[in-house]
């Protein structure tokens, strides 16, 4: 498996970045991971990095993006915070990843049975965690299909909130970062949300959230 170079990164389209992640997750689920020489990749990336995607995921110990998508050193930026919520520092990290370092995709990756989502559903109050969980409240309010047992003991309610929260994070990125919104509109990057199932290892991409301006991307690639 080749280590990403600047040339390979520049030639990649946002859709190709999505496809690489999907193929990597398929390998992960089938336990057919690519055989990588990690020490060789350390050497290959010592003078620079050219990741093709930035993945925002939860801090949950089961949700390492590099493993889930079968990627190696230097392949993706991994941004992690409980509940995969958005704040200014994360937006700045994404702007660096895409505008400065050349990544072609932003993926917000939620996951099933998320402790942060459950905590928010139960309106937990605990030090600095309270402010973080408050960022999930809009997703709870937007979940209108559940009328009873709106708490962490209701698995369906928790799953619905997790899905809405991941999709809202995509909306937040586009609403709060002019830089990233313009890059999406210009076809330079794609953006979307997905959900990781901690039981099966599978990632479901929410196609209704994946935004890729293919026409603009083709223009940039000279197609």
Lowest mean pLDDT among 43-52, 59-68, 111-120: 43-52
pLDDT of 153 reads 98
Q: Is residue 223 pLDDT above 70, yes or no?
A: no
DSSP secondary structure string, 200-216? T--EEEEEEEEE--HHH
Average pLDDT over residues 143-171: 98
Per the CB < 8 A criterion, the answer to whether 77 and 161 are in contact is no
Give the pLDDT of residue 34.
Answer: 87
**26 pLDDT exceeds 90?**
yes
- Summarised one tens digit per residue, pLDDT across range 99-133 is 999 999 999 999 999 999 999 999 999 999 999 99
- Please report the domains of the chain, with CATH numbers, ordered by start residue: 6-221 (3.40.1050.10)
* 76-80: strand order across its sheet: 76-80, 53-57, 105-111, 190-196, 203-211
Locate the DSSP E strands across 24-71: 53-57
Residue 21, Cβ neighbours under 10 Å: how many?
27
Structure tokens at 48: 């620079």
Q: What is the mean pLDDT of residues 55-76?
A: 95
Question: 56 with 106: CB under 8 angstroms?
Answer: yes
């Amino acid at each position: 498996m080749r280590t990403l170079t600047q040339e390979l990164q520049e030639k990649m389209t946002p859709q190709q970045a999505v496809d690489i992640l999907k193929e990597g997750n398929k390998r992960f689920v089938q336990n057919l991971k690519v055989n990588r020489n990690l020490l060789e990749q350390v050497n290959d990336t010592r003078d620079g990095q050219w990741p093709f995607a930035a993945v925002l995921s939860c801090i949950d110990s089961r949700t390492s993006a590099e493993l889930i998508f079968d990627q190696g050193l230097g392949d993706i930026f991994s941004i992690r915070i409980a509940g995969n919520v958005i704040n200014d520092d994360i937006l700045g990290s994404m702007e660096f990843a895409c505008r400065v370092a050349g990544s072609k995709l932003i993926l917000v990756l939620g996951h099933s049975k998320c402790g942060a989502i459950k905590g928010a559903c139960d309106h937990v109050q605990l030090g600095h965690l309270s402010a973080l969980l408050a960022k999930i409240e809009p997703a709870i309010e937007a979940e209108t299909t559940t009328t009873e047992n709106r708490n962490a003991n209701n698995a369906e309610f928790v799953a619905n909130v997790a899905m809405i929260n991941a999709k809202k994070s995509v909306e937040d990125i586009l609403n709060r970062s002019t830089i990233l919104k313009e890059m999406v509109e210009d076809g330079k990057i794609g953006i979307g949300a997905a959900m990781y199932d901690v039981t099966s290892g599978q990632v479901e991409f929410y196609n209704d959230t994946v935004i890729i301006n293919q026409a603009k991307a083709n223009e940039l690639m000279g197609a």
